[in-house]
């Protein structure tokens, strides 16, 4: 488990086996599994960015839903599917099949404790297809469980234009969005002197432009073909104040999702 610097009433890792079984046995119980990555995020953010943020948002959402939902958050699955980042250094990646197997095993183990539902909370775009697959495979093997998954930053779509200053593309990999969140949660891990703007020159009109402006077309390139620094977007516009608002509202959005999952699982 990565040290997130957060104490939490919903952390699986801090509970006894009896407490876990009691929560899992409650009606409508949900286990949340944060899924991140260890991959380069330019010169200004730590390689654990995706894991730290998925874990933090998962805990905030679960805490806010906790009065209505019997819920626990597992330690984060910290290594994801990031082969496109390895050439720039700092990245620890799993093969796609291995990540799928790890997530299936974590979900299977959690459900053995009596939980009625699972929600994977993903923090890395490269994991999204794996999350879709594991929802299907775990759901197929546990037909009585409500198995769900999401990518946390997509929860910001309804309100992001109220917060962002950057143009489309400015909230991409290590841009205004992620940098603001890390400034709020872990300011000591951000080097703003290195936070330079670098926008993606996407040749396809239907390609992905931004964390929150996705395209219909998938492509593959080594990340160094996109960016010399390893980051894309405009982290220079990031602030801890934006990060605080993002974190607060993401927590509310996830809490609503968890309440719905719990209701469906009852």
- Report d(CA 220, CA 27) in Å as an integer: 44
- Report d(CA 157, CA 177) in Å as an integer: 12
CATH 3.40.50.10310 fits 12-265, yes or no: yes
Instruction: Summarize the confidence of residues 224-246 as an average pLDDT.
Output: 94
Tell whether the model's pLDDT for residue 209 goes beyond 90.
no
For residue 3, the model assigns a pLDDT of 44
For residue 125, the model assigns a pLDDT of 93
Mean pLDDT across the chain, nearest whole number? 94
- Report d(CA 104, CA 192) in Å as an integer: 38
Domain boundaries, the chain: 12-265
- Report d(CA 105, CA 94) in Å as an integer: 15
84-116, pLDDT tens digit by residue? 999 999 999 999 999 999 999 999 999 999 999
Percent share of the chain, pLDDT over 90: 86
Q: Which of 238, 240, 247, 243 is nearest to 195 (CA)?
A: 238
59-73, pLDDT tens digit by residue? 999 999 999 999 999
CA dihedral 163, 164, 165, 168 (to 10 degrees): -160
For residue 225, the model assigns a pLDDT of 84
For residue 229, the model assigns a pLDDT of 92
Q: Are 255 and 61 in contact (CB under 8 A)?
A: yes
The reported pTM is 0.95
- pLDDT band for position 119 (50/70/90)? very high
43-62, pLDDT tens digit by residue? 999 999 999 999 999 999 99
Sort residue 7 into left (φ over 0), alpha (ψ -120 to 50) or beta: beta
Q: Which of 173, 166, 144, 160 is nearest to 245 (CA)?
A: 160
**What is the separation of C-alpha 132 from the centre of its chain, rounded to a whole number of angstroms?**
14
């Amino acid at each position: 488990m990565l040290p997130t610097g957060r104490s939490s009433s919903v952390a699986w890792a801090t509970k006894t086996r009896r407490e876990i079984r009691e929560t899992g046995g409650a009606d409508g119980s949900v286990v949340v599994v944060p899924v991140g990555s260890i991959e380069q995020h330019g010169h200004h953010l730590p390689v654990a960015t995706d894991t730290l943020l998925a874990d933090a948002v998962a805990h905030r959402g679960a805490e806010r839903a906790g009065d209505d939902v019997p819920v626990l958050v597992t330690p984060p699955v910290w290594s994801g599917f990031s082969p496109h980042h390895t050439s720039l250094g700092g990245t620890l990646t799993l093969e796609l099949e291995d990540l799928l197997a790890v997530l299936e095993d974590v979900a299977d183990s959690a459900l053995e404790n009596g939980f009625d539902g699972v929600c994977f909370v993903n923090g890395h775009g490269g994991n999204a297809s794996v999350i879709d697959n594991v929802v299907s495979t775990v759901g197929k093997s546990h037909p009585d469980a409500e198995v769900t998954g999401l990518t946390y930053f997509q929860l910001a779509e309804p309100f992001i234009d109220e917060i962002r200053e950057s143009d489309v593309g400015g909230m991409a990999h290590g841009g205004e969005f992620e940098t603001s969140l890390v400034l709020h949660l872990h300011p000591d891990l951000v080097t703003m002197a290195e936070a330079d703007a670098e926008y993606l020159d996407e040749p396809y009109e239907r390609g992905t432009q931004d964390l929150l402006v996705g395209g219909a077309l998938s492509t593959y390139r080594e990340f160094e073909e996109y960016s010399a620094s390893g980051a894309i977007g405009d982290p220079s516009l990031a602030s801890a104040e934006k990060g605080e608002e993002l974190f607060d509202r993401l927590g509310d959005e996830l809490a609503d999702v968890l309440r719905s999952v719990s209701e469906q699982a009852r």
